[in-house]
A and B are shown apart, each in its own frame.
Chain A
Amino acid sequence: MSTDYRKNQDRAPIAEALEAYSSERVVPFDVPGHKHGRGNPELTAFLGERAMTLDVNSMKPLDNLCHPVSVIKEAEELAADAFGADAAFFMVGGTTSAVQAMVFTVAARGDKLIVPRNVHRSVINAMVLCGAVPVYVDPGAHEELGIALGMTLSDVEKAILENPDAKAVFVNNPTYYGICSDLGGLVKLAHSHGMLVVVDEAHGTHLTFSEKLPISAMEAGADMASVSMHKSGGSLTQSAFLLVGGKKASKEDPSNCAPSIDPAYVRQIINLTQTTSGSYLFLSSLDLSRKRLALHGKELFDKVIEMAEYAREEINAIGGYYAIGEELINGEDIYDFDKTKLVIHTLPVGLAGIEVYDLLRDEYDIQMEFGDFGNCLAYLSVGDRIRELERLVGALSEIRRHFGKDPIVSLPNNYIAPVVVLSPQEAFYANAEHIPFDSSVGRIAAESIMCYPPGIPVLAPGEKITEEVLDYLRYAQEKGCQITGAEDSSLKTLKVVK
């Protein structure tokens, strides 16, 4: 946690410049064509005059997102300071765009990237675009909860030794469920083999701001991290930060022989795909949210932790439900746990997580973040209050009373090591055909197939279809798992490379 800022975190240069701009009453002979909302009264009434006035284009006093020299540059430096990073970039295409930029920065066509098997689809999509090749590591799964976990040091070391030419290790940290890998250990391990570490920190914006939470990517010495400010940080949907770090790690660790990342190169990579008219609503929301977290993050997230701990206690007191917590930590694939995450295991009350998710929505007007086979998740953030948590707990106890049944037994999870034959890019652009499921052994998959639980892909484009894969899919289908991704959802046929 970085409490000693080098810069004045009370500033919000982009928001301040927008304020100044709107008070100057500049005559707009530039885009956007709604001209402060005057040209579109219905939209202005809908969104509010203020929002329309601030929806402006890059101009001298407001800087330019593609080549920042003034207020955006200052705002990015403030963000880097707040997150303890060497450099920070404002991203307006969602955290997906930040994840893509990380992949494009560390891997070119044919380069290997070590990734956990349960990696977000945006990473595979990025590899389709740039031609990188995945080397998968088994994230492990929790037998009872049916969720994917974190990568262990020994599994990653094995992948590194088998693929000494890999460029980087990609880590999901924390996962959606709050599970953390040994990030510090992974960074040291990868760096000693000359590999970079990039972190999808989409669910961990808050880690930087509390010493009660697991270590953040920048603190652990990772080279890059994608941070979803709009998830737990309070900015507008679709806004994110891309962070570059690593200086600290290269100074402190003499065994570090990884190359360093040049922020100027990262800027070029971002400009390959990012819009040239970045929304100032997004930019100012990032700027003001960073200010708020830097100045008040500690007490805000202390409150979130307190609320989550309270909810866990109350939910576990209902009986049946299990709201998971730090007791799961095992120093291996659950190296640490993000206490702000409220994950509720529902199988002991005889209901699937997705059933509880639906009941809360349909019967009690409570919207959860998601539900899978065994769990549902409430996303807690700076905007929550105890009184809404009381409603959630009250509703859960009612759902158990009205709908509870005999406990459901979790499904066993067998990890199938994928055989990557073609890169995702080659498989994506190859000619493909649908052939009967049973006669697909030995062919190369042209589509992804994912199985819930535990949300780990069984096949990805470019992978060999084996007897073991088909057996697993037959079993999962028979057990009623949710199988997604295949064009033919009945699985009578599979899409394979011709």
Chain B
Amino acid sequence: MDLWFSEFHTPHVKLAIKVDKQLYSGKSDFQQIDVFESPEFGRFLTLDGYMMLTQKDEFIYHEMLVHVPMCVHPDVRKVLVIGAGDGGIVRELSRYKTIEHIDVVEIDEEVVRVAKEYLPFTACGFDDPRVKCHFEDGLKYVRHHEDEYDLIIVDSTDPFGPGEGLFTKEFYGNCYTALKEDGIMVNQNESPFYANDARAMQRAHKRIHSNFPICRVFQAHIPTYPSGHWLFGFASKKYHPVRDMHAADWKALGIETKYYNTNLHRGAFALPNYVQRLLEAMEELPGNDTTTTLNTSNGGNT
């Protein structure tokens, strides 16, 4: 049987993955959820037809979103994870003994249920007793918390559909408020390569930049995401992502990783020229999203 999963990365480019069988297909209140088994990538999860993770390359995404901020912040005790219904982020976080509590806010409980049944390699993260799941809108949850978290990880889908609210200026601003005075926020920041993704990446950066005094972008290579070149945002009230990293302390923890290491951490913030230009354009221009008033009022907090 010639069965393939395919996803358009642009109207003129598509990625196709040979599928052995479909393990799950269902529609939740929020989205279409599918799980497939494939010879090359193992099991993979798609939401509304968009690739979320594969068994083969999910480690890259999850390690980069967790270990980068964990190597910078010296004392993370309380973490908020938004999105991440597959459990991969929590799995990486649970390797740190010093973390006391992890709140996971996922809008779609069905994703967690499906992950627990079909994706045990990531959903194992939910077994950690420090994890508490909240099934509600991330935008709403974060609005009700102030000065509470050391680290917020935004593991969002895309800036359309149910994840839309997690790319807005009000959301990033509410995250700022929910963080302690030395808190860090990291987020999935789309890709710089194809035009549509690049626009989303720029908009997200502009909005985060208008809310946080320190705002940097880092990159990783994720084969099953459009273009394979993927970006993450690092926003912080106090710590610089490279100058303030604690490489020796992190190594001493003895956490074994497949992708992340402290040299790669430094290098991940070194971006190609065209990406730098796309980002700088957002930092310089006070367009629709940014105003000098906003920057000033944030400046007062640094």
Q: Are A386 and B169 in contact (CB under 8 A)?
A: no
What's the minimum C-beta distance from A400 to chain B, rounded to whole angstroms? 11
Known: A363-B289, A363-B294, A403-B293. Is A391-B177 also a contact (CB below 8 A)?
Answer: no
B6 close to A (CB within 8 Å): no
- Among the listed A386, A394, A397, which residue makes an inter-chain contact with B168, where contact means beta carbons less than 8 Å apart? A394
B128 close to A (CB within 8 Å): no
Q: Convert B263-302 into 0s and 1s, putting 1 for each residue whose CB lies closer than 8 angstroms to a CB of A.
A: 0000000000000000000000000110101100100000
Known: A363-B294, A402-B294, A402-B297. Is A394-B170 also a contact (CB below 8 A)?
Answer: yes
What's the minimum C-beta distance from A367 to chain B, rounded to whole angstroms? 13
Q: Convert B169-192 into 0s and 1s, putting 1 for each residue whose CB lies closer than 8 angstroms to a CB of A.
A: 111011001000000000000000
Q: Convert B154-173 into 0s and 1s, putting 1 for each residue whose CB lies closer than 8 angstroms to a CB of A.
A: 00000000101100111101
The docked-state distance in angstroms from the alpha carbon of A391 to that of B165 is 7
- In the assembled complex, which residues on chain B have CB atoms less than 8 Å from the CB atom of A401? 173, 177
The interface on chain A, measured as residues whose beta carbon lies within 8 A of the other chain's beta carbons, has a size of 17
The docked-state distance in angstroms from the alpha carbon of A109 to that of B237 is 70
Interface set, chain A 385-410, CB cutoff 8 A to B: 386-387, 390-391, 393-395, 397-398, 401-403
Q: Are B137 and A390 in contact (CB under 8 A)?
A: yes
- In the assembled complex, which residues on chain A have CB atoms less than 8 Å from the CB atom of B134? none
The docked-state distance in angstroms from the alpha carbon of A387 to that of B139 is 9
Q: Are B168 and A364 in contact (CB under 8 A)?
A: yes
The range of chain B's interface size is 20 to 34
The docked-state distance in angstroms from the alpha carbon of A362 to that of B292 is 13
The docked-state distance in angstroms from the alpha carbon of A391 to that of B294 is 18
Chain A binding surface SS class: helix
B77 close to A (CB within 8 Å): no
The docked-state distance in angstroms from the alpha carbon of A386 to that of B140 is 10
- In the assembled complex, which residues on chain A have CB atoms less than 8 Å from the CB atom of B246? none
- In the assembled complex, which residues on chain B have CB atoms less than 8 Å from the CB atom of A397? 143, 170, 174
Determine the residue in chain B with the shortest Cβ distance to A403.
Answer: B293
Q: Are A387 and B170 in contact (CB under 8 A)?
A: no
The docked-state distance in angstroms from the alpha carbon of A66 to that of B165 is 48
- In the assembled complex, which residues on chain A have CB atoms less than 8 Å from the CB atom of B177? 401
Known: A390-B139, A394-B139. Is A364-B165 also a contact (CB below 8 A)?
Answer: no
The docked-state distance in angstroms from the alpha carbon of A395 to that of B171 is 8
Determine the residue in chain A with the shortest Cβ distance to B142.
Answer: A394
Known: A363-B289, A401-B177, A402-B297. Is A387-B169 also a contact (CB below 8 A)?
Answer: no
- In the assembled complex, which residues on chain A have CB atoms less than 8 Å from the CB atom of B162? 387
Q: Convert B5-41 into 0s and 1s, putting 1 for each residue whose CB lies closer than 8 angstroms to a CB of A.
A: 0000000000000000000000000000000000000
Q: Are B143 and A387 in contact (CB under 8 A)?
A: no
A365 close to B (CB within 8 Å): yes
Q: Are A398 and B173 in contact (CB under 8 A)?
A: yes
What's the minimum C-beta distance from B185 to chain A, rounded to whole angstroms? 15
Q: Are A395 and B137 in contact (CB under 8 A)?
A: no
What's the minimum C-beta distance from A363 to chain B, rounded to whole angstroms? 7
What's the minimum C-beta distance from A388 to chain B, rounded to whole angstroms? 8
Known: A390-B140, A393-B143, A394-B143. Is A363-B291 also a contact (CB below 8 A)?
Answer: yes
Q: Are B164 and A387 in contact (CB under 8 A)?
A: yes
Determine the residue in chain A with the shortest Cβ distance to B287.
Answer: A362
Query: What are 22 pairs between A and B in contact, CB < 8 Å?
Result: A314-B140, A362-B288, A362-B291, A363-B169, A364-B168, A364-B170, A365-B288, A387-B137, A387-B139, A387-B162, A391-B168, A391-B170, A394-B165, A394-B168, A395-B168, A397-B170, A398-B170, A398-B173, A401-B173, A402-B173, A402-B293, A402-B294
3 A-B pairs with the lowest CB-CB distances in the bound complex, closest first: A394-B170, A395-B170, A398-B173
Chain B: residues with CB nearer than 8 A to chain A? 137, 139-140, 143, 162, 164-165, 168-171, 173-174, 177, 288-289, 291, 293-294, 297
Q: 5 additional contacts, CB 8 Å, given A362-B291, A363-B294, A390-B139?
A: A362-B288, A387-B165, A394-B143, A397-B170, A398-B174
